[in-house]
Structure 1
Amino acid sequence: MDPEVIIHNSVSLDHAVTGFEVDLGLHYGALLAFEPGAVLAGSATAKTGIEMFMDIGEPEAEADRHRPGVRPDDPRPVCVIVDSRGVLKNLLHFYRNMEHTKDVVVLVSETTPEDYLDYLREREYPFIRRGGSRVDLKGAIRELGERFGISRVVSDTGPDLNDVLIREGIADTISLIVHPVIVGEGEKKLFGRAGGRTALELRKAVPMEQGTVHLVYSVKR
């Protein structure tokens, strides 16, 4: 059985994911409440996170070149990054060192540069290679479940990956922390090219702090 996939994001009232201040405590509190086995992000989102919150000039240490031991009873999720173009070459150690994740797995494709694959092998990053010119996300997530025993994946990413999760019928649930603000034009929206109409069923609507609301929808097949 394929892992359950949840799209999680913080949005404005007009569905923007940028252009306003996200309450990170609420965002990650709601995400971790799903008890995910893996947190999924695209390479662009992952790189932006490094640039915004970390010292990108911090060099890789010798310990960063080796996969840490993973205890079977460690409740922390695995960080899973879709990176078929090798965007995060020489940057993955930032995610390896994050205290709230226990491992880093990279999803790549047949066209991923060989030097990036060598980088992953040399540093003992597990990777899943599925798809031709881009990652076969449905197949990669299925293999993620089979190889790592993961039953629930929560995405924490931008519109490009959100679009794929909806367009290819991968997402089962959409979880939104809605902030009481309208940001207007010029900002990235939750979905950009998600395809045709997708019907949803509201599962819960919970008022939270500072006027935010947590909405959870099931994706109707």
Structure 2
Amino acid sequence: MDIHYQIASSYKPDAHLIGSKTIKTGIEQYGSAPQEESKDFIKPERDSNLPYWIIIDTKGTLKGLLHEVRRFEFCKDVVIFISQDTPKDYINYLEKRNYDFHIVGKKNIDLDTSFKILSDKYNVKKILTDTGKILGNLLINNGFVKEISLLVHPVIVGKKSYNIFESINKNIGLKLFRYDIIDKDFIWLTYKVDNTKN
């Protein structure tokens, strides 16, 4: 995982876009989140060069867990995108804790509107997404991904493999523009994507 995070930080993004399921899974892997404290209800004051963490959470999956994300020292703060169908108790939870949140879409998130808000309000120009297949495939299918970075590990996974691109609805051309060998056994491949929006 160290190599993964080294690569991610090398992009110097304005924001990290992460799905709620990815965050919940990550928190659960390390046990349960600690109890909230009074400081968790206040926006952190951190270096303005740090990236925002942008989270799509229409179902309120992260209720009771967001303070764990906000505490992460390399995150400027958390911005949540929800829909009109998001449970009201989750909206109250966000308001009481002074999270920036935006309602964009009836049931699902309107990505075009979300990215416009990020650009206009938060001056976000470069977004790094490090997420699972649901959000990742949605972004690729809708032409929002300009670059794909893959880290090839020297392991044959077999039957337990995780097909991260299984919901891509058409063949998408890629153009290799960078490759590096890291620590002798890992290969970092970076591709430009052909189907991006202008």
TM-score by length of structure 2 reads 0.94
- Equivalent pairs: percent with the same residue? 35
Q: 1:63 to 1:215 in 2, by over 3 A?
A: same
Q: 1:35 aligns with which of 12, 15, 19?
A: 12
Distance 2:132 2:33 in 1: 24
Structure 1 counterpart of 2:69: 95
SS in 2 for 1:206: strand
Which protein, 1 or 2, shows the higher relative CO under an 8 Å CA cutoff with sep ≥ 6?
1
Structure 2 counterpart of 1:152: 126
Matched, 1:62 2:64: no
Higher mean C-alpha displacement, 139-148 vs 83-92 = 139-148
Q: Which runs of 5+ in 2 are unaligned?
A: none
| Contact 1:159–1:188 under 8 Å retained in 2 | no
Distance 2:45 2:136 in 1: 31
Structure 1 counterpart of 2:108: 134
Q: Which residue identity does 2:32 align to in structure 1?
A: I
Deviation at 1:125, TM superposition (A): 0.5
Q: 1:62 to 1:175 in 2, by over 3 A?
A: same
Distance 1:190 1:160 in 2: 8
- Deviation track 1:69-92 (CA, whole Å, cap 9, x = no partner) reads 355xx3221111110000000110
Structure 2 counterpart of 1:52: 29
Q: Which residue identity does 2:61 align to in structure 1?
A: V
Structure 2 counterpart of 1:3: none
| Contact 1:79–1:104 under 8 Å retained in 2 | yes
Q: Which runs of 5+ in 1 are unaligned?
A: 1-23
Runs of 4+ in 1 over 3 A off after TM superposition: none
Matched, 1:201 2:178: no
TM-score by length of structure 1 reads 0.84
Q: Which residue identity does 2:7 align to in structure 1?
A: A
Distance 2:49 2:3 in 1: 20
Distance 1:109 1:185 in 2: 36
Deviation at 1:128, TM superposition (A): 2.0
Structure 2 counterpart of 1:21: none
Where does 1:158-173 land on structure 2 (aligned, <5 Å)?
158-173=132-147
| Contact 2:33–2:65 under 8 Å retained in 1 | no
Alignment RMSD, CA only?
Answer: 1.3
Aligned pairs, how many?
Answer: 195
| Contact 2:27–2:33 under 8 Å retained in 1 | no
